[in-house]
Each structure stands twice: as structure tokens, then as C-alpha cells.
Amino acid sequence: MRTKRSRTGNGSSAGSTIRDSQGIVRLFSEFVIDSRYDWVPACEEAFGVFPVAIRYGLNTIPHLRNHESHQD
């Protein structure tokens, strides 16, 4: 099983776990920047800046295999 070291140094996480976390960030980012909701103007008014997407192909872990179960 291939794992990645966590940023805190407390252990490691499987690639699928990291991708799941990235998916959660992506969904939240899409919600916040969606023009159907009033988050963009609310953020500009409250913080002086507007939200932008922070997840894209160059800074995420790709899904490389169809099956990622542990091969113990």
C-alpha cells in the first residue's frame, strides 16, 4: 500500500483518503463561488476579498487506479 506523509508529521494517509479530502474542499469551494448563492458579495463586503477556487489539476493527487483496496 502506498501512503503519503501527513503535513503534521503524525503519520501517513492513503492516497484515496487524501483525494477524499480534496473532494470535500472542491465541493465547498464550488458552493462558495457559485453565483446562485450570495457568498461572493458577502465575502467582499465582510473581508474585502472574494473567494476563488484553490483546487486544480496541478495541486491535487490524481486517481491512478480503478481499485485501491489494501493488498494484504
Condensed to tens digits (0 to 9), the pLDDT of residues 9-48 reads 566 777 778 888 888 888 898 899 999 999 999 999 999 9
pLDDT at residue 37, as a whole number:
94
pTM above 0.75, yes or no: no
Report which of residues 25 and 3 the model is more confident about: 25
What gap in Å lies between CA 64 and CA 3, rounded to an integer? Answer: 14
Residue with cell 477524499: 20
In the predicted model, is pLDDT for residue 56 greater than 60? Answer: yes
What gap in Å lies between CA 12 and CA 18, rounded to an integer? Answer: 10
pLDDT at residue 44, as a whole number:
95
Cβ–Cβ contacts within 10 Å for residue 26, how many? 15
